[in-house]
Amino acid sequence: MNKAIISILGRDRPGIVAAVARTLTEHMCNIENVTQTMLQNEFAGIFIVTMPEGMSAADLHGRMVSSLSALELHVYSKPCEGGDEDCATEKLEPFVITTKGPDRKGLVAGISEEIARHGVNITNLQAVFKGGNDPGENIMIYEVDLPATFDVRTFTRDLRAKAEALSLEISIQHRNIFEALHRV
Amino acid sequence: MFTSREIISTLEMLKSENLDVRTVTLGINLLDCAGKDLQRVKSRITESIMDLAGDFVEVCDRIAQKYGIPIVNKRIAVSPIAVVGASFSPPQLVEVAQSLDAAAQKVHVDFIGGFSALVEKGMARGDRSLITAIPEALSSTERVCASVNVASTRAGINMDAVLLMGKTVKRAAHLTANRDGIACTKLCVFANIPEDIPFMAGAYMGIGEADAVINVGVSGPGVVKKAVERAFATNPSMDLGSVSELIKKTAYKVTRVGELIGREVAEQLKINFGVVDLSLAPTPHVGDSVGEIFQTLGLLAIGVPGTTAALALLNDAVKKGGAFASSRVGGLSGAFIPVSEDLNISEAVRDGHLCLEKLEAITSVCSVGLDMVALPGNISEETISAIIADEMAIGVINNKTTAARLIPVPGKKSGDSAYFGGLMGHSTIIAVKNADGDNPFLRRGGQIPAPIHSLRN
């Protein structure tokens, strides 16, 4: 399949998704996956699309930029290699890592570095830093996948040590407890 | 993907509101250990416990860490020893209790329940021996818990057994007089005892159960209290129908956590999962109290007018939430009101808001009964039996479980303090009114018949 991945950034306002989708349709592209989020007032969207035969990611990028620049949207594109079939087949256990603690520089870097050092993949990250010393106002939530055979104790121990060094309170819990509490 | 609100509310429940798994209880069937050779029976009991429970505590600790939720107690419940050891004398049964205690210590569990007899319709020789052995068994062990079912809605009340239990409670207190009668904290007298209670002192392995089973007791009075507090802060005029709905939803969540943990422990130990017992079981800590819920609902303290209605609302909402969350809800499932184990309730006794008569009244709508009630040390055996008989009658007629865990505190009188330690807590000794003089009613013995099942007014 001839696929591209396109990322759109810009000040949030009504009509961004509609404008992107319209442009893709006009160029005969089919949207396979899309996700969007907002951070403060900024929009970020990621689209994986199938392009017609003969079209390259660079071609599509040019057409998107010309259509969307009037809306002051920034476009980033690249060819998309592989797809769902590339998903890991190893059994993974989803965990949620939560930290609370006073805001300071380097918190995301410190924790994510420790996660990466153990070869663990972050599947979702939400972080809110409102500043100040109120732990409840400064929170990071990492969703990670741990291989079923992984040494969770060592990972947990190292992560706790890192959190302590950063003056963070940390919880590392299997995702199922959140499912049990909040999802029917 | 979870919202940050869901994640944060989970952490709040665990860290600030004392949500925990109060107990995972491993039921072990010991019926195949029965025999006439005491040494052989004792060694087979020990082998069975070691075989099934060798990794039990370690597995529980590992799962607690995985989910970030404390499993406060790890316990074992065994088949009624009155059946397993039916051929033994009381001193021999005391030896069996000591073997159970030693095995429990080896596998690092907090308590082992099942030093029990079921005598609602009559006492067999083994039952009588076991009841006779209870005071020595409980005073010479740390972890063994005993229970005796003396009544049921199907059989009525065995008043001979009730009378015997009054003596048994008094002697158990006497043998542990230097520790405020602590042996009595490990002894429950029941009507309609369920076969799958994970909580102590009433846990035993039911006769109708498999070789082994995992039952889970989940608590959470702090979670319920905070949920109600938050709701009242948002909507001060919230009515009681909405409060019930809120408690139901909260109980639902707590039950789901219990089932998650129970199923995983069972899977890892390759044992059947039994039930989740969703009970609001307090501890003597601020913020982990059933009594505080009454104050949050607007009552001055547990015991004042309105208490029975409030407890009825609470108990029913908890049961409904639990029943919706899991098809494996069992045990007692409701609200406990153990006096010494709940700081707020013991303070209500101290301050004169809660008296024995009101406590008995509210047990008609709670999930257990007269639980952890410290009584004056000079109370007579007959009066203890009479209080037990009253409590059993509430259970039998209302088709519910009731229990009496009464502690006559040697050498102390009403208004004094009794201290039991740990989760057993401490309490002001409650006054027993109108207990002077003879009580020939009790001494007549016999069976109070099972109640009629129609004309229910």
**One domain for residues A57 and A106:** no
The string of pLDDT tens digits covering residues B106-161 is 999 999 999 999 999 999 999 999 999 999 999 999 999 999 999 999 999 999 99
CB spacing of B2 vs A143 below 8 angstroms:
yes
**Percent of chain B whose predicted confidence (pLDDT) is above 70:** 100
CB spacing of B66 vs A126 below 8 angstroms:
no
Interface check A116 vs B, CB under 8 A: no
How close, in Å, is residue B215 to chain A by CA atoms? 18
| Residues in chain B within 8 Å Cβ distance of A176 | 67, 260
**One domain for residues A57 and A23:** yes
Of A100, A124, A181, the CB nearest to B256: A181
**One domain for residues A171 and A139:** yes
Domain boundary among A84, A117, A150: A84
Widest CA span in chain B: 69
- Is the ipTM, as predicted for this complex, more than 0.90? no
Higher pLDDT, B392 or B331: B392
Give one DSSP letter per residue of B193-220, joined into a string: --TT--STTT----TTS-SEEEEEEE--
Residue B443 three-state SS: helix
Q: Among the listed ranges A85-99, A118-132, B165-179, which one has the minimum average pLDDT value?
A: A85-99
**One domain for residues A10 and A40:** yes
**One domain for residues A98 and A176:** yes
What is the torsional sign of CA A131, A133, A135, A140? Answer: positive
Task: Round the CA-based radius of gyration of chain A to a whole number and report it.
Answer: 20
pLDDT of residue B19: 85
Residues 20-59 of A with CB under 8 A from B: none
**One domain for residues A8 and A80:** yes
Of A126, A153, A177, the CB nearest to B67: A177
Residues 226-285 of B with CB under 8 A from A: 253, 256-257, 259-260
Domain that holds residue A48: 3-84
**One domain for residues A104 and A32:** no
Domain boundary among A84, A112, A133: A84
Domain boundary among A84, A107, A139: A84
How close, in Å, is residue B62 to chain A by CA atoms? 9
**One domain for residues A16 and A75:** yes
Residue B127 three-state SS: helix
pLDDT of residue A71: 87
Confidence (pTM):
0.88
Residue A54 three-state SS: coil
Q: Which two structure tokens, joined as six digits, stand for B245?
A: 């709905």
How close, in Å, is residue B69 to chain A by CA atoms? 8
**One domain for residues A31 and A72:** yes
Interface check B391 vs A, CB under 8 A: no
Residue B395 three-state SS: helix
**One domain for residues A70 and A131:** no
**One domain for residues A25 and A59:** yes
CB spacing of B66 vs A173 below 8 angstroms:
yes
| Residues in chain A within 8 Å Cβ distance of B9 | 181-182
The size of the A-B interface in CB pairs under 8 A is 62
Q: Which two structure tokens, joined as six digits, stand for B194?
A: 């369920």
Q: Which two structure tokens, joined as six digits, stand for B379?
A: 């109370």
Q: Please name each of the domains of chain B with its CATH number.
A: 19-191 (3.20.70.20), 217-435 (3.20.70.20)
Q: Is the pLDDT score of A82 beyond 80?
A: no
Distance from C-alpha of B95 to C-alpha of B73, rounded to nearest angstrom? 25
Number of domains chain A is built from: 2
Domain containing A157 — which CATH number?
3.30.70.260
**One domain for residues A177 and A127:** yes
| Residues in chain A within 8 Å Cβ distance of B2 | 96, 141, 143, 175, 178, 182
CB spacing of A143 vs B7 below 8 angstroms:
no
pLDDT of residue A135: 62
Distance from C-alpha of B103 to C-alpha of B97, rounded to nearest angstrom? 10
CB spacing of B7 vs A156 below 8 angstroms:
no
